[in-house]
Structure 1
């Protein structure tokens, strides 16, 4: 069995600076600079504008989400588990068109109706139960709403609380933390791990180890984490594919270890 390897050279200098910031790793900074120049701001997380039925991206916006969009991000983070975003997006559209895209509506909806609405996201029975449980508990424990709940909680305690919710794992919790709450927490997904391994940043690492690698080597900055994660997704979809990666034309081609 291949032993996990965290390549410390990916982090250097990477020592925490005063104010709980990390001195940016030259390697991680170089990767970010190249993919940002190649792709530009990604506008994550996609949300549905008032009067529309489909989520859209807002490049360059890093403000706090509204109450409605904060919840939509939470719902989207649950629905996109183990599936492509396009499938989760169709589920959000169905919830929206059915008048269900709110905590109160989902909490009070019969499970069969909810399952039908989110069917396109896969594992629809499990996700319907998770969504319903998330909404019922958040309404019970945080009647003040998502914006006040998120703004009043420290990042660490909020993440720990989110992880205690049914159906919320580390990646989902970090998506909510970063994109819905606007608090620093680097999101690790399949695209992050694939690109990180091929770039030689680490090998066979756990979720927490990848998260540590990026958070230790980068300043604790919401805008930076937002774009970095989104840009790695873009890289993975367009070039660093799971099979038949398109190395020619990739903005990281000349710096990549190509450990495929």
Structure 2
């Protein structure tokens, strides 16, 4: 646990608070979490700009799947993502589009419901749980896996086992999980890239898999 917290503290001290997720509303955050699948955030921003007039559940519900697909075209795989958004909306509507209703239910139940929606996998479910519904959840994405591999951790192969490894030892503090994911993303973009940029890396002293 102490090592995980030390790593968090080093990243936080170096990068500062990230204030994630980048969205003006929880609903926009949820839609963005689906749009960002298999694409860059830059492309998502273009799609969200197109969606701006419809970024309320009742408005988005009324447009057709074809119209939605055209609006989100910049995000790629737009026909598939349109269907996923529509499926997500059907689930969200069972709670009357009311996030406060969802927050009253336990995280395990909501996570299982999210995973039952076609196209919502563990990572997408995780970021929605964390950033829209305020459930402390570790996001065991490819960035986290890359960073902790280079730091020498023997991580489980499965997403959920990797996630639970962290959740078993980290304090259940929303801000900690919120910032940890955002900081890992920032670090993976700035220093721990596929080809790492080790000069100035705040975790260089912890890294055991430095490039030769």
TM-score (norm 1): 0.77
Query: Where in structure 2 are there 5+ consecutive unaligned residues?
Result: none
Tell me the secondary structure at the aligned position of residue 202 of structure 1.
Answer: coil
Tell me the secondary structure at the aligned position of residue 139 of structure 2.
Answer: coil
- Partners of 2:67 and 2:19 lie apart in 1 by 32
- Partners of 1:102 and 1:92 lie apart in 2 by 12
CA distance 1:210–1:203, change in 2 (3 Å): closer
| 1:204 positional shift | 6.3
Structure 2 contact 35–75 (Cα < 8 Å) conserved: yes
- Partners of 1:146 and 1:86 lie apart in 2 by 29
Tell me the secondary structure at the aligned position of residue 19 of structure 2.
Answer: coil
Hey, what does 1:13 align to over in structure 2? none
Q: 1:226 aligns with which of 178, 184, 188?
A: 178
Query: Where in structure 1 are there 5+ consecutive unaligned residues?
Result: 1-24, 49-68
Q: 1:88 aligns with which of 39, 44, 47?
A: 44
Hey, what does 2:35 align to over in structure 1? 79
The yes-or-no answer on 1:256 pairing with 2:212 is no
Q: Aligned runs of 1:1-260 on 2, under 5 Å?
A: 25-48=1-24, 69-96=25-52, 99-139=53-93, 141-143=94-96, 145-203=97-155, 205-242=157-194, 244-258=195-209
State the 4+ residue runs in structure 1 displaced beyond 3 angstroms.
none
Structure 2 contact 156–162 (Cα < 8 Å) conserved: no
- Partners of 2:192 and 2:50 lie apart in 1 by 31
The two structures, once aligned, show a CA RMSD in angstroms of 1.5
CA distance 1:255–1:137, change in 2 (3 Å): closer
Equivalent residues, number: 211
Higher helix share: 2
Structure 1 contact 103–136 (Cα < 8 Å) conserved: no
| 1:30 positional shift | 1.2
